[in-house]
A and B are shown apart, each in its own frame.
Chain A
């Protein structure tokens, strides 16, 4: 399991002499280089998003991509005369991806050097590597889920949401309510596990613990009566977001230990993490159990820290922590909360199992 390269989440393509065989502004009839179409389609199928950073006239270059039948594969294309490092930065910001998950491919060494100078975390590739990218480990996610294959479509639905939000004049919550959001929390089954594993690998920003749970570990925990593995899906009027969250909960009679809470960066703006925490707090209150959330601060999960604190978690000590499994990593903090009943979410419908009632049955049996 050691030294797996970080999976590339978005590959940014140069166009002239990388995607097609010449310079479009000089030769309007340039054609795709051999193998490019196959590479783009294969990466798309693996869930690697793709974009464009090209020094060209936007209408001309985008029109040519449309003519070639490739335009639909690219999100947030940056076609202008500005520096490519700016284009790559814009793409990463729009996608809310860390630069270390972005790759850039260009035939010109100067362009690669420019990107590399300003954005050393971005991995750069030469154009002659284009058709062999699909053989590299960083472009080969271990698991390719249903969601991965539809990732680009889900992002594109997301852009339509953002466009609607920009046009929406009103309170934040009113906008969220207008989306008809439905969150489904369910106990994970065997089929959900590959999605769960992928999410914990991909979701650096909102993975509170920073601990990776392997497929095998999670499978074991599925069968463990002392643990709950829950997956979260989200849907709205523009379509499904797919699997967007995972919770791993160690349930004792008097304390529930939230060992893992990860939500996709795609749904951060919907407050999905807060809705989940709110639901969990209400369930724990019904069970009369304290909540202890494991949290390892990283430079990418500040939002999760804030979400915990805003939900009422504190660093105050409590006797209940003594009975929990010891932590493997001393950088992990344990945030504590004495739950009280919470009102349901006002921004979305939530369907979920009744954890508190089920647990009471399991612990006390049916008398």
Chain B
């Protein structure tokens, strides 16, 4: 693992933290990183769409095609993994 991604400050930890904060603000409930947001009825499919837009804007990524599936947004952990993977794909030097 190298340290060359210091310019893009987003790490798993910061993304997770930011997402938990975003969710707490929007759905007025504290969630766990592994909690299934859909089966617990906390978010509607409509809100899931807002999550897509939020992730794209906050991390300057485009979530399209096969990545655009409900399972990618089911938990804070799965969203964090998605963001890291897409940011990594953006940055050829990145090495997960």
Contacts and interface: CB of A to CB of B under 8 A. Distances in A.
Do the two chains bind? Answer: yes
Interface in A308-330: 309-310, 312, 314-315
10 contacts: A169-B28, A172-B41, A173-B43, A274-B46, A306-B49, A310-B45, A310-B48, A312-B70, A315-B65, A315-B66
A310 B53 CA distance: 14
B10 interface: no
Interface stretch (A21-29, A53-61, A265-273): A265-273
A307 B45 contact: yes
Q: Which DSSP category, helix, strand, loop or mixed, fits chain A's interface?
A: helix
A172 B68 contact: no
A346 B43 CA distance: 12
B69 A274 contact: no
- Give the top 10 A-B pairs by smallest Cβ distance, nearest first: A309-B68, A274-B45, A271-B46, A173-B41, A172-B44, A310-B70, A306-B49, A171-B42, A271-B44, A271-B45
Interface residues of A, number: 24
Given A170-B28, A174-B41, A305 B68 contact: yes
B52 interface: yes
Nearest to B71: A310
Interface of A: 169-174, 176, 268-271, 274, 302-303, 305-307, 309-310, 312, 314-315, 346-347
Contacts of B70: 309-310, 312
Contacts of A312: 69-70
A270 B46 CA distance: 7
A97 to B, nearest CB: 18
Given A172-B43, A172-B44, A310 B28 contact: no
Contact of B69 (A169, A302, A310, A346): A310
